[in-house]
Structure 1
Amino acid sequence: MPRLSKDQCLSDLKLRILSTALAPGSDLDETTLAEHYGMSRTPMREVLHRLAGAGFITTSENRGAKVASMDIGTMRTFFQTAPMIYANIASLAAEARTGPQLEALKDAQHAFTKATAAQDAQATALANHRFHAVIGEMAHNPYLVASLDRLLIDHTRLSQRFYRPANADEKMLIVKASDQHDALITAIEAHESALAIDLSLQHWDLSRDRMERYVRPDPLPVDVVSLKDRRNAV
C-alpha cells in the first residue's frame, strides 16, 4: 500500500472496522499497522489514539489495541439505549435542521437507494451510517451526538446482516427501510417532531430483530420500553 497521511489512514481503518473487515474484538498490532500504511509508529500511535477516542477501538497498557468488542454486555447496552437516542435525535433534528443539512440528508438517502439497488451490503450499511449521522448533525446537541456516533459504529457493523437478505421477505424489509428514510426526511423538513419520533422508532423496530439474530440465534433478553408512550421523556 502506498504511504498514507494520518487522516487517510484513520479513514481507512474506520472503514475496515465499520465493514467488519477488521472483526470486533480483534487485536491491532501497532508495528504491523505502521508497516501496512507506510508510516512510523509515532503517527500510527496517534491514529490509534484518535480511533480510541471515537469508540472504534479500545486500548490498554498491557494488551495493546483491539477493535471495539460486540460482546453480550455491549450489545445489551446497545439495544437498550439505541431507541432512546434515535428518537431524541430525530425530535431535535426536526426542530433545528438547516436548509443545507436537509440537502445533505437527501444526498445521503440518494446514496442509500443507489446502494440498495446495487445490492451492495457494505455500501448500503455505510450509506445508512451517513444518513443517521446527518440527522445527528441536525440536532445540534453535542451530548446526544457523541452517544449517536458511538451507537452508529455498532449499528453499522450489525446491519451488515440486515442488508444481506436471504429471501423475498427480507428484501422487502430493506425497501421498507428506504421508505421510512423518505418519510423521516419529509417529517424533518416539515418540523414535525412528534412524527419524526414515531418514524424513528418504527425504523428501529424494523431492523432490531434481524440485528439481534446477528448476535445470536435467539433474540437477546432485553425489554426495550417503547418511547411512543413516554413522549414526556423526549
Structure 2
Amino acid sequence: MPDTSKDRKTHLLDRLKRAILTQELRPGADLDEAQLCEDSGLSRTPLREVLRELAGLGYVELRANRGARVSEMSHTTLRDFFLAAPMVYGAILRLAALNATSAQIAALKAAQEEFREALRKGSTTDRTLANNRFHEITGEMAGNIYLLPSFHRLLIDHARISMTFYRPVTPEMAESVSEASQQHDAIIAAIEAGNEATAAQLAEDHWNLSRNQIESFVMPAGMDQPLGTLPRSTSA
C-alpha cells in the first residue's frame, strides 16, 4: 500500500512519543521542525498538526515565535508531580476495580507478561515502555473523562523517571524493580476481585517505590544519558 501523509503523521507521532518517554529527547529539548519535516517526509502543516496533538497530550510545549520543545521536568514540575500522582493513581485503580471488563483484565494480564519478559531480557527502554503500557490499561479500565487527561500527563513523567528506576545500579534498586512486578500481580488480583480499597492501597504502595528513586533522578548521576536528538527514521 502507498505511504500516505496520514501514515507518516501517525509514524512520527509514535516516534516522538517514544523518544520523549524514554528521554531520547530530553526534557526541555528544542524540536527542529525543519529536520523533523525532512526525516518524516511531512510538510510544515501536517508536522504542526502532530506537534499540536503532542502538546494537547502534554508531551511538548508550543511557544509563540520560538517553536516546540519537549515538556520540562524542573524541580517545580517534579514537586507538583509527586504531590498529585498518588491521589490520581489511587483514584484510577479504585475506579479500575469497579469498572474493569473481562477483556481489559485479560489485556492487563498480557501487559504484565510483557513486563516480566522485559525485566528478564529487555533493555531499560523495554522495561519502561512495558510498565507504561501496564498503567495505561488501568486508566482505560477506570474510564473517567475527568481523570484520564491528568493520568496520561502523569504517565509521561512517570515513564521519564522510570528510565532511572528500571536501570538499577544497586542491589536495593534491583530489589525494588522485582517488588514492582509483584505489586503489578497484586493490582491485577485486586482489580479482578473488584476490591477497590485494596486497589487504592496498592496504588499508594506502588507509588512509594517510584518516590524512593527521586533523588537518583534529580541528581546529575541519575541524569547521565547524553542530550540526544531523534534519530532519522529508516522507514519510508
Q: TM-score, normalised by structure 1?
A: 0.89
Q: Is the 2:8–2:41 Cα contact (8 Å) retained in structure 1? A: no
Flag as ranges the 4+ runs of structure 1 deviating above 6 A.
none
Is 2:20 the partner of 1:7?
A: no
Give the C-alpha shift of residue 30 in structure 1.
1.2
Distance 1:112 1:64 in 2: 36
Q: Is the 2:92–2:138 Cα contact (8 Å) retained in structure 1? A: yes
SS in 1 for 2:147: helix
Amino acid across the alignment from 1:52: A
- Number of the residue aligned with 2:216: 213
- Number of the residue aligned with 1:98: 101
Is 2:163 the partner of 1:164?
A: no
Is 2:206 the partner of 1:189?
A: no
Identity fraction in percent: 48
- Number of the residue aligned with 2:131: 128
| CA displacement 1:157-204 (0-9 Å, x = unmatched) | 111000011122211111100000000000000000000011110000
Give the C-alpha shift of residue 38 in structure 1.
1.7
Q: 2:88 aligns with which of 72, 85, 89?
A: 85
Q: 2:79 aligns with which of 76, 82, 85?
A: 76
- Number of the residue aligned with 1:225: none
| CA displacement 1:130-179 (0-9 Å, x = unmatched) | 11110011011011111100000000011100001112221111110000
Q: Is the 1:159–1:211 Cα contact (8 Å) retained in structure 2? A: no
Distance 1:152 1:61 in 2: 26
Alignment map for 1:12-161 (pairs within 5 Å) = 12-161=15-164
Note the aligned Cα RMSD (angstroms): 1.6
Q: Which has the higher contact order (CA 8 A, sep 6+)?
A: 2
Amino acid across the alignment from 2:64: E
Give the C-alpha shift of residue 119 in structure 1.
4.5
Distance 2:183 2:204 in 1: 10
Distance 2:208 2:183 in 1: 11
Mind listing any 5+ residue stretches in structure 1 that lack a counterpart? 218-234
Amino acid across the alignment from 1:6: K
Amino acid across the alignment from 2:138: I
Distance 1:157 1:211 in 2: 11
| CA displacement 1:5-40 (0-9 Å, x = unmatched) | 111110011011111100100001211110111221
Distance 2:23 2:184 in 1: 24
Distance 1:137 1:200 in 2: 16
Q: TM-score, normalised by structure 2?
A: 0.88
Give the C-alpha shift of residue 120 in structure 1.
1.4
Aligned length: 217
Amino acid across the alignment from 2:216: R
| CA displacement 1:27-57 (0-9 Å, x = unmatched) | 0121111011122111111111111111000
SS in 1 for 2:168: coil
